[in-house]
Amino acid sequence: MTPADARLPTEAFARARAFLLERGRPLDAARFRHAFEDAPAGEVLAALGAYQNPGGGFGHALEPDVRAPQSSVLATSQALEVLHGLGVPASEPLLAGAVEWLRAGLEVEEDGSVWPFLPLEAGAHPHAPWWSQATPGQLARTFGGFQVNPRAGIVARLWRWPERLPGGLLALLTVETRDAILAGLEPDDVNGHRVAATFAQTPEVPGLHRQPVLEYLRDVLPGRVARTPDALAGYGLSALHVAPTPASPLAPPLAEPLAAALTHLLTSQGEDGSWAPNWDWGGQFPDAWPQAELEWRSGLTLEALLTLRAWGRLEGD
């Protein structure tokens, strides 16, 4: 165990910085330089633009577990996260293209409109096993009909730019998303809880819809987040996934697992300065996994540094 106030040493931060700037993706390096070294946001936008297709959607392995060049909701939702973090205006061309592509791709189902994660064409390219579309409807079954994930994260972020959607559509999607979350999340649905937490903690989402979800998550999360070193080392829901900063409304009921998660984060940095994924592709597409794994190290290292800074856990803070 590390002390409750332990910090990432300056030398360890320097190794992480070197990894990002020398071996990381250009996007992650640009985001690091913008966040920590006051580099222009335009560098991030330029790097992100390399993943955008002519139709406005994003692809090209922006999410490293899917190597398809085609636009996907999976990759486009990742792009929205970056754009939201930068606080870009509604007039930003990358954003305008992404939202228009998402609007055109909505599929109306019995329980509302959803965004399927991937086009069928993505199956022809290397991907993680959980993104398989080998049988009809397989992906929808894997991800609960897309009712919560990815819809909750996308809807939450779109409230930053409501003028980008036709009148009433965003409000309708918000109600449908709220109701889907409140119908109950499977206890082992890691990313479902993550996007539900994003929905509940994004200030732009109207409180009428956000508050019930926040209350639901406050009730269930203490029994669902990882608490032990072994659990944190495996693939599961970290308290930092749902309360990434001390200001997160979900942080107070998760004080104990948050302390454990921060300890794990501080002690799991690799010798090369990076943080590694705690999953792999189980031997599938062995020629493609090394590149995907390297890209995950890049993204996870940036995420680790941002999280540690948010919690005041960098030496010298």
Kindly write down the DSSP assignment for every residue of the chain, as one continuous string.
Answer: ---TT--B-HHHHHHHHHHHHHHS-HHHHHHHHHHHH---HHHHHHHHHTTB-TTS-B-TTSSTTB---S-BHHHHHHHHHHHHHHT--TT-HHHHHHHHHHHHH-EEETTEEE--SS-GGGGGS-B-GGG--SSTTHHHHHTGGGTTTTHHHHHHHHTTSGGGS-TTHHHHHHHHHHHHHHT---TT-HHHHHHHHHHHH-TTS-HHHHHHHHHHHHHHGGGTS--SHHHHHSSS--HHHH--STT-TTSGGGHHHHHHHHHHHHH---TTS----S---TTSSTTTHHHHHHHHHHHHHHHHHHHHHHTT-BTT-
pLDDT at 234: 94
Structure confidence by residue, pLDDT tens digits, 29-85: 999 999 999 999 999 999 999 999 999 999 999 999 999 999 999 999 999 999 999
Residue with the two structure tokens 């790097």 = 47
To the nearest whole percent, how much of the chain has pLDDT over 90?
96
Residue with the two structure tokens 């994930």 = 149
Structure confidence by residue, pLDDT tens digits, 244-296: 999 999 999 999 999 999 999 999 999 999 999 999 999 999 999 999 999 99
pLDDT at 202: 97
Residue 5 lies in a domain: no
Sorting pLDDT into bands at 50, 70 and 90, what band is 178? very high
Query: What average pLDDT does range 109-132 have in this prediction?
Result: 94
Q: With 50 as the cut, is the pLDDT of residue 11 above it?
A: yes
Averaged confidence pLDDT in the chain: 96
CA end-to-end span of the chain = 21
Give the angle 258-247-207 at the CA atoms, nearest 5°: 115
Query: What average pLDDT does range 151-167 have in this prediction?
Result: 95
Q: What is the CATH number of the domain that holds 303?
A: 1.50.10
Q: Is the peptide bond before 253 cis (omega within 30 degrees of 0)?
A: no
Query: Which residue from 110, 104, 221, 102 is spatially nearest to 153, judged by alpha carbons?
Result: 102
Q: How far apart are CA 47 and CA 60, in angstroms?
A: 12
Residue with the two structure tokens 């991800």 = 143
pLDDT at 1: 46
Sorting pLDDT into bands at 50, 70 and 90, what band is 109? confident
C-beta separation of 108 from 147 below 8 A: no
Dig out the tokens for 252 from the structure: 């107070």
Domain of residue 80: give its range. Answer: 10-310
Q: With 60 as the cut, is the pLDDT of residue 154 above it?
A: yes
Q: How far apart are CA 65 and CA 293, in angstroms?
A: 9
Residue 315 lies in a domain: no
Give the angle 142-148-149 at the CA atoms, nearest 5°: 60
Sorting pLDDT into bands at 50, 70 and 90, what band is 3? low
Query: What average pLDDT does range 224-228 have in this prediction?
Result: 97
Q: How far apart are CA 276 and CA 266, in angstroms?
A: 13
Q: How far apart are CA 203 and CA 160, in angstroms?
A: 9
User: Which residues are CB-contacts of 102 (< 8 A; sequence separation ≥ 6)?
Assistant: 57, 73, 76, 115, 154
* Structural domains counted in the chain: 1
Q: How far apart are CA 263 and CA 267, in angstroms?
A: 6
Residue 96 lies in a domain: yes
pLDDT at 217: 98
Residue 316 lies in a domain: no
Residue 304 lies in a domain: yes
Sorting pLDDT into bands at 50, 70 and 90, what band is 2? low
Residue 23 lies in a domain: yes
